[in-house]
Structure 1
Amino acid sequence: MSEDPPISAPASSPEGERRARASELLEEFLAHEHGERIALGDLVRILGDRAFGAMILLLAIPNVLPVPGLSTVTGLPIVLIAAQLMFGRAQPWLPRRLAAASMEREGFLNVLRRAHPRMQWIEGRLLRARLPALTSPVAERFIGAAMVVLAGVLALPIVFGNQPPAFALALMALGLIEKDGAFIVAGLVAGLVALAIVAAVVFGFAQGLLMLVGLATA
């Protein structure tokens, strides 16, 4: 028996339609009728043609605030979505099994509710369309590559290693949604800092483990 077809986003909205802001996407998602659990495929269907930046943002937010235990279930889909952005795919695609992966509804929605007023503050004071070359289709491929690396780190079970890459991913996702190249740059810088922090954490744990092994075998 052949597998069910993968989940893809609906066709893009008509050209010239006003782009929804990040806070409006959150409002729309929060207002939607959800089941007891929220499947990743539901995110694609609800967000439609805005799903690249918006899905990465929604999946990164629970790790920024953060919510324990969601780094792998959110990190792996971001890897796949960012890889599609890197290869220039027009719409996000999820294999059926990954689309069926789900999160507990109330916990996820509560995190988004907490994020909503902060998002409105950021939009009102910081976000605006600028540096268009950094959000062009060519630039998006490089952004996608950077997001793949950060999402791969996010998906790893590293203590204290999830929040920094998630923050960088959220900044870049906001830049994609709002066409704000300055936020793309901020996200890339935050990503380099995140990688340095994670490397330091891993090195510290490795050094501690080697010290314990040395003491145990002395």
Structure 2
Amino acid sequence: MSDYPRDRMPVIEAQAEEEVRTSDVLARFRDNLPGPRVTLGDLIAALGDRSLGTILLALALPTIAPVPLGVSVICDLPIVLYSLQLMFGRRGAVLPDWLLRRSVDRATAARMLDAMMPRLVRIESLLKPRLHRLAVIDGERWFGLLIFILSMICIVPVPLMGWLPGFALVVISLGLIERDGAAVGTALLLTVAAIVAAVVLISGFSYAAMSL
């Protein structure tokens, strides 16, 4: 019989739960994939309260990846949808049913997770819970406005305009997932830079158009 005080066990268990990272959650999900098809809704259910940051990350990645413009816009539209919901005080990530039902077969889901996991672990090694006040801004209404502005800039069909706000969305997503306020703070600075860059680019294109 262990001599460790029983009244300390709930504290230890709570601390262990807090230390579980997104890669750990996804590893368990990978080992217990539903079948024969895996939906986005299944992933959200597995991720629990991490879902907002994870959805933001999943939908923001195409913005900074070499994909056709239409693909990134389709990914940005759901971000616009629930950023509006957050602005009106509706907490949590709410996606339309048609998107939640999007699925891949079990084998494809396993391959995707296997390819993602090593990269995710490397990224997580740079993150840690800190600056708690910034790490929980997803509960604030102005956070919805922030995401709305970034996603709208991403949608504007101007070359290179979507990269910086897309990168800001990726960084803020990682900060929310790992409750890293330093990453969120960095994303806020990137947001300011993205807004300034958008104003400069739009002004430049407008001036060029009027000159012609």
**Fold shared, TM-score > 0.5 on shorter chain:** yes
The letter for the 2-side match of 1:21 is R
State the distance in 2 between where 1:157 and 1:208 align: 16
1:185 maps to which residue? 185
State the distance in 2 between where 1:155 and 1:78 align: 11
2:92 maps to which residue? 91
Q: CA deviation at 1:87?
A: 4.2
2:6 maps to which residue? none
Cα 1:155/1:21, change in 2 over 3 Å: farther
1:82 maps to which residue? 83
Q: Is the 8 A contact 2:57 2:170 kept in 1?
A: yes
The yes-or-no answer on 1:136 pairing with 2:132 is no
Cα 1:30/1:134, change in 2 over 3 Å: same
Cα 1:23/1:135, change in 2 over 3 Å: same
Q: Is the 8 A contact 2:64 2:167 kept in 1?
A: yes
Counterparts of 1:1-218 in structure 2, within 5 Å, are 16=14, 17-18=17-18, 20-24=20-24, 44-45=44-45, 47-68=47-68, 69-97=70-98, 99=100, 117-124=118-125, 126-136=126-136, 140-211=140-211, 214=212
State the distance in 2 between where 1:156 and 1:58 align: 20
Q: What is the RMSD of the two structures over their aligned residues, measured on CA atoms?
A: 3.8
Structure 1's unaligned 5+ residue stretches are 1-14
State the distance in 2 between where 1:19 and 1:88 align: 29
Q: String of CA shifts for 1:147-201, please: whole Å, max 9, x gaps.
A: 1110121123222111111110111111111111111110010111112222222
Runs of 4+ in 1 over 6 A off after TM superposition: 28-31, 33-36, 108-115
State the distance in 1 between where 2:43 and 2:79 align: 12
Structure with more helix by fraction: 2
User: TM-score under structure 2 normalisation?
Assistant: 0.70
Q: Is the 8 A contact 2:136 2:176 kept in 1?
A: no
Structure 2's unaligned 5+ residue stretches are 1-12
Is the radius of gyration larger for structure 1 or structure 2?
A: 2
Q: Tell me the percent identity.
A: 36
State the distance in 2 between where 1:112 and 1:202 align: 39
